[in-house]
A and B are shown apart, each in its own frame.
Chain A
Amino acid sequence: MTDSAATEDDDSWFREGAMAAWPICFGYIPIGLALGVLGNQAGLPVWAVTMMSIMVFAGSAQFICVAMLTAGASLWAILFTTFVVNLRHFLMSSAVAVYLSGLQRLLLSFFAYGITDESFAVNMARFRTGNWDFKRALTVNQLSNMAWILSTTCGALLGQFIPRGAFGTDYALTAMFLALLLFQLHNITFFLTGFAALLIATLWYLFIPGDSYILGASVSAATIGYFFKRYQDRHK
């Protein structure tokens, strides 16, 4: 932490956490509603949809679970798929650990529950610029969590009364990812890493079935970026 704002013992942490979280919450609404509707159509009771959102809290895995239940998949097949799809969080957890060093293990264990693609991206962008701390980051995680639980439950309750994709809501998270990406392109190394990731992920996605492209392209591109940085540092 570079400056005083993050260590000040006042109430600004909640407001700042909420300000950072709202684009995520907003983006979760259409997706959560859609998941609830699908769950409802697949025959899941409303309480089961809510319970899944509380216990799993992982959008893509929950969609896959509903689809697999509809197709009559086995418990083990669903668990294995969930594990593979969510393995990417291993990388995010590692990256965020750099900024949460020395924190109590109980708090870290609680924080881990809320690590998603979205909360990770928002929190890392803030951590990088300083002025961000555990409390603010946890606020982002848990407000996103609440928005997710509420919107999936509403979807299950209201069923198909809600029109899909009104006012471009389907694009909310994509727009958020684009902006977060742009804010992190500080130098040529990050540009190169991003370009490599786009290229590798596209090819991987086209040629290899499943969701391994996220993990595969991220690790490959980060490694390319890392060696480029080393090369650059040596030839300064």
Chain B
Amino acid sequence: MNFSDYIILFGGMGLVTYLPRWLPLFYLAQRKLPQWLIDWLSMIPVAILCSLLAPILFTDQSTRTLDLGKPEFLVAIPTLFFALKTKSLGATVLVGMGLYWLSGYLLQ
């Protein structure tokens, strides 16, 4: 692939990625949204976070099968507990990483 091939590929990918990021913001932020839509949208962050997390925590992603004993899930429990106690995002990230790192040795 040469320079212009890459420009076309990445330009196209950039465009189809940008449009869904841009359209709602561009149109919705100028309007008064109905209350039902605001209520529905307020559920979206929790819903998306859980949707993103579910396969990481509960499935083997290489075979796409259910796996309820993954280190990712076992480490999540103390990580969540730590987050609940400290309310600190940064410290939770570090503790989660540390526990996951340890789990690599302990759960062999």
Contact = CB atoms under 8 A, between A and B. Distances in A.
Contacts of A117: 48, 52
A136 B108 CA distance: 43
Nearest to A86: B17
Q: How large is the interface on B (under 10, 10 to 19, 20 to 34, 35 or more residues)?
A: 35 or more
A168 B98 contact: yes
Nearest to A217: B51
Nearest to A116: B21
Interface string A176-212: 1111111111000110011111111110011001000
Interface in B1-30: 6-14, 16-18, 20-26, 28-30
A57 interface: yes
Contact of B20 (A93, A121, A181, A182): A93
Interface in A99-137: 100-103, 105, 108-109, 111-113, 115, 117, 120-122, 124-125, 128
Nearest to B96: A175
B107 interface: no
Given A90-B24, A94-B24, A171-B75, A125 B45 contact: yes
A97 B6 CA distance: 32
Contacts of B47: 193-194, 196-197, 217-219, 221-222, 225
A26 to B, nearest CB: 7
Nearest to A225: B43
B48 A214 contact: yes
Interface stretch (A1-9, A76-84, A155-163): A76-84
B89 interface: yes
Contacts of A91: 44, 48
Interface of B: 6-14, 16-18, 20-26, 28-33, 36, 38-59, 64-66, 72, 75-76, 79-80, 83-84, 87-90, 92-93, 95-102, 104
Of all A-B residue pairs in the complex, the 10 with the closest CB atoms, nearest first, are A175-B96, A168-B101, A197-B50, A171-B100, A201-B54, A168-B97, A222-B43, A97-B28, A55-B14, A112-B22
Interface of A: 19-20, 22-23, 26-27, 48, 51-52, 55-58, 61, 65, 75, 78-79, 82-83, 86-98, 100-103, 105, 108-109, 111-113, 115, 117, 120-122, 124-125, 128, 167-172, 174-185, 189-190, 193-202, 205-206, 209, 213-214, 217-219, 221-223, 225-226, 229-230
